[in-house]
Chain A
Amino acid sequence: MNWQAIFSIYRYEMNRTFRTIAQSIVSPVLSTVLYFVVFGSAIGQRIDTVEGIDYGAFIVPGLVMLTLLQQSVTNASFGIYFPKFIGTIYELLSAPLSFIEIVIGYVGAAASKALMIAAIILITSTFFVDLQIAHPFWMLAFLVLTAVSFALLGFIIGIWAGNFEQLQLIPLLVITPLVFLGGAFYSVSMLPPGWQTVTQFNPVLYLISGFRWSFFGVADVPVGISIAAICVFLAICIAVIWAIFRTGWRIKP
């Protein structure tokens, strides 16, 4: 294992993040504040509580998940797409590296950045609502597992994408709707029965539900299923990346 290389990639990617620190942090914080104003204050006045939880607090896990998913996917997809686009990927391919080191370096950096921003949002939200975390260990576990598995998904998207439009397509067209429909701002039990069944097929539901459980101890689906769902998703992503590097798909002619 070429640890030095993993460390180099990680540090290089993190440097890139810190070069643009202002825009990396300002925009998610701003949108979080907006969500609180719109959902927390405006709608919250009418909803009051969901399953016994203050509505303002209820939406925090969903909000954190929304940002975490978007950030880990976009960071990782951009992180690997950029060298592919400008051609510097030749360096990675000609270095004594296996795909494992490349993936750990890029995905690790993307997940770290997403986690940092998630933490900032969590902290920002404490200015608006009272938050209690029932299971801190599981909260952390959900955060890390989600960040890593969606950064892996982002990595796959970055390798697949042939242009910038495709790069933004999946986060915009798939991730955001899934989060909104996955119960980020409401409990699935509030939906009509037909829609409740449809929602069962939304993988993000399991993430948000499990994550919310780690705060409040209540969940839409059993927490064990949530954890199993993330692990399955993680395994699928790893298998896809392994196949990509085995065949050189989209990276080696």
Chain B
Amino acid sequence: MTAIISIKGLEKTYADGFEALKGVDLDIHEGEILALLGPNGAGKTTLISTVCGLVTPSAGQISVGGHDIASEFRAARSLIGLVPQEITIEPFEKVINTVRFSRGLFGKRRDDAHIEKVLRSLSLWEKRNNRNQELSGGMKRRVLIAKALSHEPRVLFLDEPTAGVDVTLRREMWELVRQLRADGVIIILTTHYIEEAEEMADRIGVIDHGRLLLVEEKQKLLHQLGRKELLLELAEPLDEVPGSLAEYDLELSDDRLHLTYEFDAHAERTGMTRLMGAISEAGLSLKDLSTRQSSLEDVFLKLVQDGRATAEEGAE
């Protein structure tokens, strides 16, 4: 697979000395949707802004479509559409004029047919002659997307496209993103919602404290790191886990009626059969049992926690 965007050794230290990016390497491929997942302040916006030319990198190289973003900035930037995290829009201008303006900035001739197509696909056509300030928050966000799509970018950056967007609109947004991908647009989105990454992305990157902790195909990620839990519901409350079951690391719930056993679903031996034997030997009777696949959320939290632990060790 060819990389449309290649980021090497990217570092960003802001003027106040804060290190927002600490050496990020990332390749973004043709035809994919990449989700960047990370908590507040992880460096997602900084990463995107650096690629788009809003933030000057402190070190490292970035190329877009083979063009270096510094020395060949025109060629590099003309491939990119950016939808910023904050709603930033000129309040007094008409919707259609702001969208046309964006197209013009990218050096493209006025093309009313294309603008109409974009506005219709975002359900903004009826509002085209309204001033931006007369739109709702969700509509304004869609105007920002329309602006980014007005110049037919090859790569689209969506910085938290669904923050503050209602459930219906979020679904519509996801649908739009899929449609764009089908049209050959490469999409990089950032999100706090694991559900969103899980729903949309082909690959997921997890970022925290300026470090890319992992980039992996979503399916592989779920598969590799997928932990399963076996939940045992007891017939009678239990005061403590019997000593004979110590090796299984069982966790007793607060109501003393549930035991949880964690295992790796892909391991050769899950230990489940032996556990069941040991349970009946210990004389416990079960009322019910169920298993639960750990979600991407657990994976994510674990990564971030591990990442922070490693960083702390490194700091010591």
A87 at the interface (CB under 8 A from B): yes
Using A87-B88, A90-B88 as known contacts, say yes or no to A96 and B74 having CB atoms under 8 A apart.
yes
Contact check, A94 vs B54: say whether CB atoms are below 8 A apart: yes
Q: How far is the CA of A7 from the CA of B109 in the complex (A)?
A: 11
How many residue pairs, one in A and one in B, have C-beta atoms under 8 Å apart?
82
Q: Which chain B residues lie closer than 8 Å to A95 at the CB level?
A: 77, 102, 105-106
Q: Which chain A residues lie closer than 8 Å to B75 at the CB level?
A: 96
Contact check, B89 vs A88: say whether CB atoms are below 8 A apart: yes
Contact check, A253 vs B55: say whether CB atoms are below 8 A apart: yes
Q: How far is the CA of A233 from the CA of B152 in the complex (A)?
A: 41
A46 at the interface (CB under 8 A from B): no
Which of A8-16, A130-138, A175-183, A234-242 contacts the other chain?
A8-16
- Which residue of A11, A87, A94, A98 is within 8 Å of B52 (Cβ)? A94
Given contacts A3-B107, A8-B101, 17 further A-B contacts (CB under 8 A): A4-B104, A4-B107, A4-B108, A8-B105, A15-B97, A82-B90, A86-B90, A87-B84, A94-B53, A94-B82, A95-B105, A96-B74, A96-B76, A96-B77, A96-B78, A248-B56, A252-B55
**A residues bordering B, Cβ < 8 Å?**
2-5, 7-9, 11-12, 15-16, 19, 82-83, 86-88, 90-98, 248, 252-253
Using A2-B74, A12-B97, A86-B91 as known contacts, say yes or no to A91 and B56 having CB atoms under 8 A apart.
no
Q: How far is the CA of A12 from the CA of B52 in the complex (A)?
A: 23
- In the complex formed, the residue of A with least CB distance to B94 is A15
Q: Which chain B residues lie closer than 8 Å to A253 at the CB level?
A: 14-15, 55-56
Q: Which chain A residues lie closer than 8 Å to B14 at the CB level?
A: 253
Q: How far is the CA of A248 from the CA of B49 in the complex (A)?
A: 14
Q: How far is the CA of A4 from the CA of B104 in the complex (A)?
A: 6
Q: Which chain A residues lie closer than 8 Å to B74 at the CB level?
A: 2, 96, 98
Closest Cβ–Cβ distance, residue B187 to chain A (whole Å): 16
Q: Which chain B residues lie closer than 8 Å to A16 at the CB level?
A: 92-93
Q: Which chain A residues lie closer than 8 Å to B90 at the CB level?
A: 82-83, 86, 88
**B residues bordering A, Cβ < 8 Å?**
14-15, 52-56, 73-78, 80, 82, 84, 86, 88-93, 97, 100-109, 147
- Which residue of A8, A9, A88 is within 8 Å of B88 (Cβ)? A88
Interface of A is mostly: helix
The 6 closest A-B pairs by CB, nearest first: A8-B104, A87-B88, A95-B105, A96-B74, A96-B77, A94-B52
Q: Which chain A residues lie closer than 8 Å to B53 at the CB level?
A: 93-94
Q: Can you spell out 14 A-B residue pairs with CB atoms less than 8 angstroms apart?
A: A2-B74, A5-B106, A5-B107, A8-B103, A15-B93, A19-B92, A90-B52, A90-B88, A91-B147, A92-B105, A93-B53, A94-B82, A96-B77, A252-B54
Q: How far is the CA of A2 from the CA of B106 in the complex (A)?
A: 8
Closest Cβ–Cβ distance, residue A104 to chain B (whole Å): 13
Contact check, A91 vs B97: say whether CB atoms are below 8 A apart: no
Interface centre among A12, A19, A248 (most CB of B within 10 A): A12
Contact check, B105 vs A93: say whether CB atoms are below 8 A apart: no
Q: How far is the CA of A248 from the CA of B70 in the complex (A)?
A: 13
- In the complex formed, the residue of A with least CB distance to B76 is A96
Q: How far is the CA of A248 from the CA of B73 in the complex (A)?
A: 15
Q: How far is the CA of A134 from the CA of B105 in the complex (A)?
A: 42
Contact check, B105 vs A5: say whether CB atoms are below 8 A apart: yes
Q: How far is the CA of A82 from the CA of B89 in the complex (A)?
A: 11
Q: Which chain A residues lie closer than 8 Å to B15 at the CB level?
A: 253
Q: Which chain B residues lie closer than 8 Å to A252 at the CB level?
A: 54-56
Q: Which chain B residues lie closer than 8 Å to A2 at the CB level?
A: 74, 107
- In the complex formed, the residue of A with least CB distance to B77 is A96
Contact check, A94 vs B77: say whether CB atoms are below 8 A apart: yes
Interface centre among A4, A92, A98 (most CB of B within 10 A): A4
